[in-house]
Structure 1
Amino acid sequence: MFRITKEFAFSASHRLDHLAQDHQCARLHGHNYIVQLELSADVNELTTAGFVRDYGDLSDFKKWIDAELDHRHLNDVIPDCNPSAENMAMWIYTVWSERFREISAVRISETPKTWAEYRP
């Protein structure tokens, strides 16, 4: 099994529901997010060039991040979802796995020391 990863960044605000009123994440706040897409393929699934997928193919994902997530309020962007890092990772996987069948995981970082990962 081969795995490749590409990292993307965006800045956005959110507020998390279902927390105590005095919880810091219940208040409106923002993050400089990092998103990592992991794509996987078996040796017999590699492209003729020997790639899991050409990194250049992910440019549409970057355009989508810039248009849909960057400098947005995520509570307004992600439908019917509390925009925790965990839920965001699953949502991104769901939106993009049809386009890139090789996606095997999506990781989201809100801070340099925290990561959430969705791996179906």
Structure 2
Amino acid sequence: MLRITKDFQFSASHRLDHLAEGHQCARVHGHNYTVQLELSARSREDLTEAGFVRDYGDLSDFKKWLDTELDHRHLNEVVPGFNPSAENLAMWIFEVWAERFSEISAVRVSETPKTWAEYRP
């Protein structure tokens, strides 16, 4: 398996439902998020003619989408129908972009430098 990854950043606010009274994440708060896309190829035959899983330049559309749809937004108003936890964001981003990037194999979302949620179907 060949894998490439690229990190992207955005800043946004959210609040999480279904938490104990007084839980800090139940209040509106913000994060400087990092989203990591992982794209994979099974063999040399699956690589592009240039030898890439995918050209990193092709991922610029993803960065434009993050900047337009998520950056400096309140995620509870942006993401459709679920609590915007890092776990749910990772799954949602994967689902939105799987059609565009058939090589996508995982999405990781970080809210802090020490925490990550990963979706790998």
TM class by smaller structure: over 0.9
Q: Percent same amino acid among aligned pairs? A: 80
AA matched with 2:70: L
**Aligned ranges for residues 50-89 of structure 1 at < 5 Å?**
50-89=51-90
Pair 1:3 & 2:23 matched? no
CA RMSD of aligned residues (A): 0.4
SS in 2 for 1:107: strand
Q: Please, which runs of 5 or more residues in structure 1 have no aligned partner? A: none
Q: TM-score, length-normalised on structure 1? A: 0.99
Give 1:12's aligned residue.
12
SS in 1 for 2:92: helix
Q: Please, which runs of 5 or more residues in structure 2 have no aligned partner? A: none
AA matched with 1:17: D
Moved more, 36-45 or 46-55: 36-45
Runs of 4+ in 1 over 4 A off after TM superposition: none
SS in 1 for 2:13: strand
Give 2:47's aligned residue.
46
Q: TM-score, length-normalised on structure 2? A: 0.98
Query: Separation in 2 of the partners of 1:96 and 1:69?
Result: 14
AA matched with 1:18: H
Question: What is the total number of aligned residue pairs between the two structures?
Answer: 120
